[in-house]
């Protein structure tokens, strides 16, 4: 299992088994298609909406108030390793 939970925005994925997550939430950042089992939401998003949630990720290192993480999903563009504010992470 992953080391961290990272706050994110969660939308519907291309398939019923996945979500589209954006990290960090409410900001331009990276987007990934992630297996639904790796995402926590209180309510599943409806078509065309997003909800706040948390996604599992692997911690690479903390540095200067940021966490370098490895995402578990498939990136929409770019790679799976990103940097996010450490304030939006918590131990899994």
CB of 82 within 8 A of CB of 71? yes
Nearest-angstrom CA–CA distance, 44 and 84: 24
Question: In angstroms, what CA-CA distances link 33 with 12, 63, 67, 75?
Answer: 9, 26, 20, 6
List the chain pLDDT tens, one digit each, 92 residues.
569 999 999 999 999 999 999 999 988 889 999 999 999 999 999 999 999 999 999 999 999 999 999 999 999 988 999 999 999 999 98
For residues 37 and 21, the answer to whether their CB atoms sit within 8 Å is no
What's the pTM value of the predicted model, to 2 decimals?
Answer: 0.92
Q: Are 4 and 22 in contact (CB under 8 A)?
A: no
Q: How far apart are CA 82 and CA 92, in angstroms?
A: 18
Spatial separation of the C-alpha atoms in residues 58 and 81, rounded to whole Å? 9
């Amino acid at each position: 299992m992953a080391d961290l939970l990272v706050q994110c925005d969660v939308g519907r994925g291309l398939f019923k088994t996945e979500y589209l997550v954006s990290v960090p939430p409410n900001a331009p950042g990276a987007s990934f298609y992630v297996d639904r089992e790796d995402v926590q939401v209180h309510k599943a998003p409806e078509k065309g909406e997003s909800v706040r949630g948390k996604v599992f990720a692997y911690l690479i290192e903390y540095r200067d108030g940021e966490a370098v993480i490895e995402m578990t999903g498939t990136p929409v563009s770019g790679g799976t390793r990103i940097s996010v504010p450490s304030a939006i992470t918590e131990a899994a």
